[in-house]
C-alpha cells in the first residue's frame, strides 16, 4: 500500500469501540498504528484528562475547540505520517465524534463543528468508518467507569446515536454500520472482513 488506510470507530459510550480498535490493531500487527481520540500525543493526552474529568467546568464552544486542538496535534504528528508510510491507522473516534457529541449532543450545530473540524484536520478524513450501533439502554447496562459525558445520562447518548445514524446515511461509501449488540468476537470478524477487503482494493489501486 502506498498511501495507507485510515479506519475509524464511532459509537456512543460503551458501544465497544476501544475493544474493536484493539482487536483490529492486534490482528493487523505491525501494519497498524493505533490512535485514540482525544489523545495520542503528549498535549492530546493532557487535553483528554481535562475533558473527561467530571470536575471540569467548561463551556460548549471551548469544549469543542479543545477536542479540535487535540485532533490537530494527532493528525499532524501521528496520523498523516503513518498514512504516508503506508500503514493502516486505527482510530478510536475521530471528527465524527465531535459532529455527534458537540454538534448534535450539545446543540452547537453539525455545520459549525464541521467547519472547525476541517480546519483542525486539514481536511483529512477516514477512508472507512465503523458505526458500532448499540441502543443507549443496552450501553447503560454495560460495565465501566463513567466520565463527564456519560454522567449526563441517556438523553445525550440518544441524541448522539441519532446524529451518527444521520451521518452514516449521508455518506454510505465511507460508513459501515455494524450491530454492536453481538459478542466482541462476532463484531470483530465482520470488521476484519471489511478491512481486509479495503486493504485489498487499496493495494489494487496503488501504482506498481
Residue (of 90, 33, 95) closest to 68 by Cα position: 95
The residue among 18 and 31 lying less far from ligand TYD, judged by its C-beta, is 18
The residue among 93 and 188 lying less far from ligand TYD, judged by its C-beta, is 93
Smallest gap from Cβ 20 to ligand TYD, in A, equals 11
Kindly state whether residue 34 participates in binding ligand TYD, applying the rule CB under 6 A: no
Tell which one of 130, 149, 164, 175 touches ligand TYD (CB under 6 A): 149
- Cβ atoms of 104 and 110 closer than 8 Å: yes
Tell which one of 4, 16, 38, 103 touches ligand TYD (CB under 6 A): 38
Piece of the chain touching ligand TYD by CB under 6 A; list 91-99, 127-135, 165-173, 192-200: 91-99
Distance CA 96, CA 34 (A): 17
Q: Is 178 helix (H, G, I), strand (E, B) or coil?
A: strand
Q: What is the DSSP letter of 7?
A: E
Distance CA 73, CA 4 (A): 19
β-strands 5-10, 88-92: how paired?
Answer: parallel
165's grid cell: 445514524
* Dihedral pair phi/psi, residue 8, rounded to 5°: -125, 155
The residue among 6 and 67 lying less far from ligand TYD, judged by its C-beta, is 67
Tell which one of 10, 37, 73, 127 touches ligand TYD (CB under 6 A): 37
Tell which one of 41, 97, 121, 129 touches ligand TYD (CB under 6 A): 97
Distance CA 47, CA 45 (A): 5
The residue among 128 and 202 lying less far from ligand TYD, judged by its C-beta, is 128
Smallest gap from Cβ 2 to ligand TYD, in A, equals 28
Distance CA 151, CA 172 (A): 31
Tell which one of 18, 65, 190, 194 touches ligand TYD (CB under 6 A): 18
Question: Using CB under 6 A as the criterion, which residues of the chain lie in contact with ligand TYD when the complex forms?
Answer: 13, 18, 36-38, 52, 67, 92-93, 97-98, 101-102, 147, 149
Amino acid at each position: 500500500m502506498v498511501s495507507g488506510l485510515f479506519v475509524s470507530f464511532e459509537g456512543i459510550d460503551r458501544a465497544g469501540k476501544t475493544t474493536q480498535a484493539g482487536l483490529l490493531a492486534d490482528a493487523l500487527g505491525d501494519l497498524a498504528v493505533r490512535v485514540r481520540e482525544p489523545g495520542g500525543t503528549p498535549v492530546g493526552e493532557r487535553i483528554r484528562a481535562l475533558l473527561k474529568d467530571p470536575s471540569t467546568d467548561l463551556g460548549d464552544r471551548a469544549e469543542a475547540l479543545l477536542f479540535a486542538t487535540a485532533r490537530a496535534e494527532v493528525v499532524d504528528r501521528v496520523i498523516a505520517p503513518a498514512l504516508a508510510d503506508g500503514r493502516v491507522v486505527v482510530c478510536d473516534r475521530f471528527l465524527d465524534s465531535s459532529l455527534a457529541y458537540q454538534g448534535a449532543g450539545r446543540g452547537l450545530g453539525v455545520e459549525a463543528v464541521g467547519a472547525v473540524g476541517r480546519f483542525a484536520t486539514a481536511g483529512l478524513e477516514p477512508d472507512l468508518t465503523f458505526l458500532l450501533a448499540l441502543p443507549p439502554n443496552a450501553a447503560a447496562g454495560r460495565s465501566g467507569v463513567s466520565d463527564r459525558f456519560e454522567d449526563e445520562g441517556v438523553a445525550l447518548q440518544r441524541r448522539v446515536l441519532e446524529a451518527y445514524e444521520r451521518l452514516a446515511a449521508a455518506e454510505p461509501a465511507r460508513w459501515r454500520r455494524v450491530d454492536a449488540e453481538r459478542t466482541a468476537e462476532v463484531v470483530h470478524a465482520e470488521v476484519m472482513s471489511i478491512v481486509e477487503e479495503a486493504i485489498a482494493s487499496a493495494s489494487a489501486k496503488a501504482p506498481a
